[in-house]
C-alpha cells in the first residue's frame, strides 16, 4: 500500500515561478522518505501541497488512496505536518500545546491523557511540561512537535527541514526519535532536507530535487552506487604489487598507480579489515591504505548537473534565527 | 462525531487556548484598560461640566460609559488580525490550519477568542465605573446580555480584521489600516454624542455603522432599561457578524499560501 502517490504535481506561483515542475513519486507505507535539495528547489512548496495547505496548479496527490484535492479534510485526518519554522505556541505550556492540538485533531478523550503523559516522557519533556514553551530551547521545541505527533498519531508525518537550526547533538537525537517513531509505531515519514548527511543517515529512500524537478530517486546506497564504485588504494612494496591476486569476494583490481594498487569493492569500511588480514597472512607489507566512496554530493552533481550549495541561504538563516530568538526570549 | 459537534468543539478549543494564554500573562489586559480609563476620567469628567449634550437627565459621563466600553472592545478586535499575521509568521497558523479541524471553526474560534478578551475589558470597565461612581444598571440579566453583545461585536470586527489581514499580509500594514478605520468608526457612531446632535449626513453614515447598534444596545441595557430598540440592534449585529465571519473563513487560506 502506498502512503503517498504524487503524480505530475506542478505549482506555478502568480509571479510565473514554476516552483514545482511536474514531479511524480510514491512513498511506501512505513518508509522514511526524504526530499533532498538546495534552497529554492521547491521542497517546501511540494509538501505544502501534500499537507493541503496550498493548492496544486495541476497534478494529483493521493494520501493512503485519498485524493487531496477532493477531500482535503479527510487527508488532514491522516497527516501530521511540522513546518520549517517552529510551530509550537510559546505562550502556552508544553502540556497545553499537546492538549490543545490533540483536541483539534479529535483524539478521543479516553486516550488523550494517557498519550500525553506517554509522549512527554518519551520525548524527555516531563519535567518541563508545565513551563511556558517560550523558555524552551530550540531542540526542546522540536521535540515537543514530535510529541504532538505522538499524541495525534498521524499515519503520515510530514516534516519540513526538521533539524534546521539545531546543534549537532540535538540533531542526532532528533534522527533517533524519528527512526524510533517509524519503527515502533509504523509511522510513514516524509521529510525535506538540504543536509546530505541527514538524508543519508535517516532516509530509506530519497528523491533528489533541484529547480522544481526530481532528478533521481532511490535508496542512498543505490544512488551512490549509480554514480561510481567505492575504491581502496593500497600502497605496497613494489615487488609485491606485480604478483598480487585478490579473491573475488574481497574485490577486484582495477588499476595501478606508482607503487599502489587500486581495488574496487562494495563496502569499503567493511572490506578493509578482510583485505588487510588477507595480505598480512601472505607476508605482504602495507605502507598505507586510503579509500574513496561516492557521496550524495557526487550523486547530486551527476543528476542535477550543478554543485550542491552547502549552508543556508541568507533569508532562511535569518528567518530561523528570528524565530528561535523570539521563542527563547 | 458529527460535523457540528466537531465544529463547535474546535471553536471552543481555540477560545480555550486564548483563555489559557490570558491566564499565563495578563499584562496586556491591564495595559489595554488604560485608554478607556483615560476617556472616562479625563474626557468624561471634563465634558460632564457642559450641560445639554445629552437631552435627558443622565449625566454625560454615564452617557459615554457604554461608548467607551464599545470603543475598547473595538480596539481589541480591530487589531486582532495582527495576532493572526504574527501567528502566520511563526508557523503557528499553518499548523492550526493543517489539523483536521475545519478552517471555518478555526476562524470562529479566533473570533470567540477576541470575544473572551472583550469580556475581560468589560469587567475592567465595570470595575472602573463602580470606583468613580457612575451609576450603571449592573443586574445579572443586563450584564449577561451586555456580554453577549460584546462577544458578537468582537467576533464581527475581529473577523473583519482577519479578512483584512488575509489581504494585507503584514503587521505594519495592519497597524496602519487599524488606525485608519478605528477613529472614523468611533466618531461616526453614537459612542460619545447622541445621534440628534449629528449633522444629517453623519447621521446617515452612522446608520451603516455596526458600532452604533452596539452602543445603542449597551446603552439600553446599562442605562435606560428601555429595550424597544434592542431587536433591531440584535438583527443588525448578528447579520454583520455572520457576513464577516464567513468572509474571513473564505479568505484565511490566502494568508498561508
Ligand atoms: N508564496 C510564494 N510566492 C512566490 N514564489 C514563491 C512562494 N513560495 C516559494 N516561492 C518560490 O518558489 C521556489 C521554491 O521555493 P521553496 O518551495 O520554498 O523551496 P525549498 O523549500 O526547496 O527551499 C523558490 O524560487 C521560491 O522563491
Ligand atoms: Mg523550504
Length of chain A: 329
Asked whether residue A319 carries a pLDDT value surpassing 80, the answer given is no
**Considering only CB atoms, which chain A residues are within 8 Å of B99?**
76, 101, 104-105
Burial B27-49 (b: 16+ CB within 10 A, else e): eeeeebbeebbebbeeebeebbe
Q: β-pairing, A32-36 with A18-28?
A: unpaired
Asked whether residue B217 carries a pLDDT value surpassing 80, the answer given is yes
Tell me which chain A residue has its CA closest to the CA of residue B109: A104
Asked whether residue A65 carries a pLDDT value surpassing 70, the answer given is yes
**CA gap A148, A75 in Å, rounded:** 18
- Cα torsion A181, A182, A184, A187 to 10°: value is 90
A53 lines ligand 1 (CB under 6 A): no
Tell me which chain A residue has its CA closest to the CA of residue B254: A54
**CA gap B153, B159 in Å, rounded:** 10
The pLDDT of residue A302 is 81
Residue that has been written with the C-alpha cell 498561508 in this structure: B256
Q: How many CB pairs under 8 A join A and B?
A: 79
Question: A4 CA to middle of ligand 1, Å?
Answer: 22
Residues 6+ apart with CB under 8 A from A44: A84, A160, A192
pLDDT 10s digits, A181-206: 999 999 999 999 999 899 999 999 99
Tell me which chain B residue has its CA closest to the CA of residue A88: B92
**Considering only CB atoms, which chain A residues are within 8 Å of B14?**
104
Residues 6+ apart with CB under 8 A from A179: A32, A202
Asked whether residue A326 carries a pLDDT value surpassing 60, the answer given is no
Q: And the C-alpha cell for B98?
A: 493543517
Q: Higher confidence at residue B52 or residue A324? A: B52
**CA gap A86, B95 in Å, rounded:** 10
Q: Chain-wide mean pLDDT for chain A? A: 89
Asked whether residue B29 carries a pLDDT value surpassing 90, the answer given is no
A40 lines ligand 1 (CB under 6 A): yes
**DSSP 3-state of A132:** strand
The least confident of A26-40, A150-164, A267-281 is A267-281
End-to-end CA distance of chain B: 30
* Residue A26 bridge partners (DSSP): A5
**CA gap B69, B37 in Å, rounded:** 10
Provide mean pLDDT across the span B137-148.
93
**Considering only CB atoms, which chain A residues are within 8 Å of B17?**
89, 92, 96, 100
Provide mean pLDDT across the span B236-253.
94
The reported pTM is 0.84
Q: What is the DSSP string of A93-104?
A: BHHHHHHHHHHH
Pairwise CB contact (< 8 Å): B90 & A87: yes
Q: Which of A79, A85, A105 sits opposite B91 (nearest CB)?
A: A85
Q: β-pairing, A156-160 with A213-218?
A: unpaired
ipTM (interface predicted TM): 0.89
Q: What is the DSSP letter of A162?
A: T
Asked whether residue A329 carries a pLDDT value surpassing 70, the answer given is no
Asked whether residue A315 carries a pLDDT value surpassing 60, the answer given is no
Amino acid at each position: 500500500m502506498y502512503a503517498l502517490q504524487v503524480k505530475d504535481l506542478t505549482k506555478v506561483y502568480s509571479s510565473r515561478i514554476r516552483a514545482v515542475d511536474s514531479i511524480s513519486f510514491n512513498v511506501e507505507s512505513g518508509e522514511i522518505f526524504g526530499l533532498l535539495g538546495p534552497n529554492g528547489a521547491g521542497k517546501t512548496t511540494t509538501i505544502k501541497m501534500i499537507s493541503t495547505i496550498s493548492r496544486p496548479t495541476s497534478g494529483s496527490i493521493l494520501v493512503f488512496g485519498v485524493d487531496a484535492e477532493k477531500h482535503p479534510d479527510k487527508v488532514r485526518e491522516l497527516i501530521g505536518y511540522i513546518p520549517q519554522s517552529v510551530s509550537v505556541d510559546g505562550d502556552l505550556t508544553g502540556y497545553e500545546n499537546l492538549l490543545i492540538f490533540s483536541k483539534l485533531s479529535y483524539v478521543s478523550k479516553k486516550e488523550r491523557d494517557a498519550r500525553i503523559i506517554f509522549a512527554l516522557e518519551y520525548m524527555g519533556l516531563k519535567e518541563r511540561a508545565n513551563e511556558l514553551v517560550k523558555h524552551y530551547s530550540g531542540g526542546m521545541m522540536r521535540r515537543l512537535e514530535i510529541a504532538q505527533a505522538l499524541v495525534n498519531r498521524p499515519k503520515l508525518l510530514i516534516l519540513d527541514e526538521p533539524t534546521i537550526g539545531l546543534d549537532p547533538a540535538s540533531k542526532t537525537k532528533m534522527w533517533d526519535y524519528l527512526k524510533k517513531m517509524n519503527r515502533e509505531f509504523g509511522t510513514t515519514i516524509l521529510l525535506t532536507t538540504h543536509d546530505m548527511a541527514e538524508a543519508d543517515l535517516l532516509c530509506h529512500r530519497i528523491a533528489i530535487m533541484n529547480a522544481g524537478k526530481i532528478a533521481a530517486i532511490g535508496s542512498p546506497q543505490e544512488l551512490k552506487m549509480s554514480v561510481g564504485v567505492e575504491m581502496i588504494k593500497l600502497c605496497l612494496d613494489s615487488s609485491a604489487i606485480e604478483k598480487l591476486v585478490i579473491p573475488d569476494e574481497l574485490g577486484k583490481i582495477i588499476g595501478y598507480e606508482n607503487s599502489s594498487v587500486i581495488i574496487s569493492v562494495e563496502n569499503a569500511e567493511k572490506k578493509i579489515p578482510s583485505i588487510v588480514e588477507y595480505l598480512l597472512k601472505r607476508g605482504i607489507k602495507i605502507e598505507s591504505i586510503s579509500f574513496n566512496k561516492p557521496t550524495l554530493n557526487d550523486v547530486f552533481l551527476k543528476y542535477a548537473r550543478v554543485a550542491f550549495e552547502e549552508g543556508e541561504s541568507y533569508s532562511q538563516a535569518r528567518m530561523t534565527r528570528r524565530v528561535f530568538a523570539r521563542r527563547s526570549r | 462525531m458529527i460535523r457540528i459537534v466537531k465544529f463547535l468543539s474546535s471553536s471552543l478549543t481555540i477560545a480555550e487556548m486564548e483563555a489559557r494564554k490570558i491566564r499565563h500573562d495578563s499584562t496586556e489586559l491591564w495595559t489595554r484598560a488604560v485608554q478607556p480609563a483615560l476617556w472616562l476620567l479625563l474626557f468624561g469628567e471634563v465634558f460632564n461640566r457642559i450641560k445639554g449634550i445629552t437631552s435627558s437627565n443622565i449625566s454625560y459621563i454615564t452617557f459615554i460609559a457604554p461608548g467607551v466600553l464599545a470603543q475598547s472592545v473595538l480596539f481589541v478586535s480591530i487589531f486582532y488580525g495582527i495576532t493572526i499575521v504574527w501567528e502566520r509568521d511563526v508557523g503557528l497558523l499553518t499548523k492550526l490550519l493543517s489539523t483536521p479541524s475545519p478552517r471555518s471553526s478555526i476562524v470562529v474560534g479566533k473570533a470567540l477568542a477576541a470575544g473572551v478578551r472583550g469580556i475581560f475589558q468589560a469587567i475592567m470597565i465595570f470595575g472602573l465605573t463602580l470606583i468613580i461612581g457612575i451609576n450603571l444598571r449592573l443586574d445579572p440579566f443586563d450584564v449577561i446580555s451586555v456580554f453577549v453583545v460584546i462577544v458578537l461585536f468582537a467576533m464581527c470586527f475581529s473577523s473583519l480584521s482577519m479578512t483584512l489581514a488575509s489581504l494585507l499580509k503584514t503587521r505594519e500594514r495592519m497597524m496602519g489600516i487599524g488606525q485608519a478605520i478605528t477613529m472614523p468608526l468611533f466618531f461616526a457612531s453614537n459612542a460619545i454624542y447622541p445621534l440628534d446632535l449629528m449633522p444629517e449626513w453623519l447621521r446617515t453614515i452612522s446608520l451603516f455603522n455596526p458600532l452604533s447598534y452596539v452602543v445603542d444596545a449597551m446603552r439600553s441595557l446599562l442605562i435606560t432599561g428601555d429595550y424597544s430598540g434592542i431587536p433591531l440592534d440584535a438583527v443588525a449585529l448578528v447579520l454583520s457578524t455572520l457576513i464577516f465571519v464567513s468572509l474571513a473563513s473564505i479568505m484565511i487560506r490566502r494568508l498561508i499560501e
